[in-house]
Amino acid sequence: MQDRAVLVTGAARRIGAAIARHLHAAGARVALHCNRSRAEADALASGLNRARASSAAVVQGDLLDVASLTRIVDEAASAFGRLDGLVNNASSFYATPFGKIGEREWNDLMGSNLRAPLLLSQAAAPRLREARGAIVNIVDIHWERPLANFVVYSIAKAGLAGLTRSLALELGPEVRVNGVAPGAILWPEGGKHFDEGERQRIAAQTPLARIGSPDDVAGAVKYLLFDAPFVTGQILAVDGGRTVHL
């Protein structure tokens, strides 16, 4: 992984930041995409660059703005002179109860979870082919087993799983494309959606009897990007076994 360059979307905070740190620690250079979290992205990049000079850069842009997606890829590639990997991590997540779904929710959730990964992958494909690189999409275990009241989010992640498999066909043999489907890793901020009782129920339902950590996802991403040369078109669940009986 030494000096290979990876673009991680939504890399300023939470799981995205953990992925960026994990890849960087293994020797990769990372382009940290952010939208509104510029201060956090700059702080993360500064820390990574102190550890290894010129190894991190920040690329800012709204993934719902289709016109900006090619620019994001171009800036990431220009920062390091190459692009070896793309991690489509950025995601909107909130409930959309059936009967109350509007155009705004549809455009936001489908745009961030499905349209942006498709168009970013399309923009990155020539460079990834040249580098014989890889794409990892952050899906969700609920792509296969929908989450009640999260209709649009669930179908957007189902679409992302389908996109992962389609791109594995479209981009092979030069580019591998896989997905990581996290289970319960980090609870939504602000106490939304899952009260304490629901959190305890989810942990108890998981065979490992706990939730995971961002580093669990980051390790799976690193594996699929750089340590799995004969793996493509797969969705790896990182869920403590929860989907065994969900």
Say which DSSP state 150 is in.
B
* Residue type at position 27: G
Closest CA to 110 of 145, 149, 172, 156: 156
Identified catalytic residue from 119, 153, 225, 236: 153
By the 8 A CB rule, do 95 and 75 touch?
no
Distance CA 221, CA 87 (A): 8
By the 8 A CB rule, do 157 and 198 touch?
no
Q: Which residues contact 9 (CB under 8 A, 6 or more apart)?
A: 16, 33, 63, 72, 87, 88, 89, 90, 116, 120
Examine the residue annotation and report whether 94 is marked as an active-site residue of this protein: no
Backbone angles phi, psi at 50, to 5 degrees: -65, -35
Distance CA 191, CA 195 (A): 7
CA distances from 25 to 134, 152, 218 (A): 18, 35, 11
By the 8 A CB rule, do 108 and 60 touch?
no
By the 8 A CB rule, do 116 and 163 touch?
no
By the 8 A CB rule, do 50 and 27 touch?
no
* Residue type at position 134: A
Residues annotated as catalytic are 153
